[in-house]
A and B are shown apart, each in its own frame.
Chain A
Amino acid sequence: MKKGTLKQILLITDGCSNEGEDPVAMAALAREQGITVNVIGVLDQYDTEDSHGLQEVEGIAQAGGGISQIVQTKQLAQTVQMVTKQAMTQTIKGVINQQLQDILGDGETVEDLPPEKRGKVMEVVDEVGETADLHVCILVDTSASMKNKLPTVREALTDLSLSLSARMGENQFCLFLFPGKRKSVQKVISWTPQLDSIKRIFEKISSHGITPTGPAIKEAVKSFSSLSRKQSLVDDDEAYDDGPR
């Protein structure tokens, strides 16, 4: 059996998009291509909870088939890794539910099984979550209001890498900032198995007033096809040498 790959976009933002495509539509577009979109809304004590931007956070995650979570800056690290793992479980369960439907029909889901069988299914979900390959494209909002939250974001991402690298499956990460220096979205790290050495990247950022969330999600979706192209190239090469990925 072929080992599956889970694809996720992780969006970290504190508010409302104001430029380019509708981010909710772009999230739906991602989902259409088998990519889950998770969104984390970061607040500090000065932000109010009921702002319009937070509605957007939920909307994007819903359209992207993922999870959204609003957190205070200091809880960011634990939330980022939890959301990522929960979203993996959710995706895997979704796939299993679909297969159950094919077998049992009638809108039967894992939840409808007796506890003993459900336990078996959950073991499988755990197993897959532990061994599957995971590709996460991270989008960080660097608009002006995010500026003082960025050191914590950086820490949270290092922590995420630490959590995921303990899994048995392989990981690939890439990192986009928006708005970027010249373009609206800027790729700062291309696909890599480990997210260390991201300290410098966040220090060089100049913050703008615009928040092009939609274009950022679109770029992220595109990046997944570049990864699979790169990997198939590597696969072709493997016949000749075991070169680095």
Chain B
Amino acid sequence: MNKTKYQPVIGLEVHVELKTKSKMFCGCSAQYFGKEPNTHVCPVCLGLPGALPVPNNKAMEWCVMIGLALNCKIPLVSKFDRKNYFYPDLPKGYQISQYDEPIARNGSLKLKIKNEKLKNNLEKTIRIRRVHLEEDTAKLIHQFGNQKSKIKNQKYEEFSLIDFNRSGVPLVEIVSEPDFESALEVVEYLKKLQQIVRYLDVSNADMEKGEMRLEPNISLREISNVKFQIINYKVEVKNINSFRFVEKAIDYELKRQEELLKREETPVQETRGWDENKQKTISQRSKEEAHDYRYFPEPDIPPVHWTGNQISNIKNQIEELPSEKLERFKKEYGLNDYDAEILTRDKTTADYFEEAVKIGAGHMIAPKQIANVVINKKIDISSTLPAHLITQIASSKQTATLSDEALEKIITQIVDENPKAVEDYKKGKSNALMFLVGQVIRKYPKKIDAGGLRERMEKMLQ
């Protein structure tokens, strides 16, 4: 048997839809979600003859902003190009995109990869090749009709319906170098990217709504002691439209390729689509020939020239990014990595926490305590005002100091009465601990801080 070990080599193309008011090259509304079909269209985004595209200034600034947040260089000159192919979702027969002079290039993004074995985080840097701007395509719906088809071997007429509302919505494409070595790293990167564009407030990046899409290209290379083998194929996977599918699709594809390589076959260079129903990737050979895009400069759009001043103005508009906020939270509020990570996951929670800390200072309530409550009690920050939260914490602080001995007694009793839950918890079911905590709270005559109690019981049951 072939015992060669293989290492995944994965690169990523991510598309992010910008949330501008208007489209990329015309004044139609870009907010197409759930709207009546073909009601956000005009001669430009329908590709009617003679219509001229004019770039949306805000979309270009936001693309620069994304580039800067990803540590890219912003060349002072940029231009648009035509990417030519025929498909019904592309009314002009080409997509306006950027080829050799993208808005941003040569960036990087630092990831923290959890290592289960070593129980720590490893830092890894993914290089970003380029960030460019383009227009989205129309939306296609494939349908079977109830008319008899004229096509041989096809029982009923099969057709596609086109809605051009999405045609021309600004799309930022972020292309990484092939630096990923596992599906886990890809997921971390996507989460991070999503977090950054949301912090920048330039996209909602909701994968289920198609506001963030990814196309990994996947290969395997042999690991030999001496050197890395050169890879001579690359498989592109499309149709991954949910966070839940990312890992499954990539892992499936890696396994498929490994099996081929072990039989000493080379996987075919091709485009494959993830089929969620079948739980596998399926060849989409029909898309192959279209890869000859014959890019050429878009003659209808004059080049874009930035001044250094404009770029630094855009840079100044960028507020604290998630990774900076996380470090500051650790330093300023004495939080550990875990807490700081949860609190900075989205900006709303981070702002809420800081507001509560400010108010809490007047009540001698430590940031760490507030962090515990916000995280462990899963406070609904949309309905509880920070000030109200502080009042709650302050009053529970007064009551929870009821004799420690009484609490100890109740805990022992609950633990004795529920051997099954204790056992479950020791087997790794964290729900069982929450059950026990709940029982203690019920028995305890006064209000008690659940987070503190949980920590205490955790220690006790270790």
Real binding pair: no
Taking Cβ atoms with an 8 Å cutoff, the residues of B that contact A are none
Taking Cβ atoms with an 8 Å cutoff, the residues of A that contact B are none
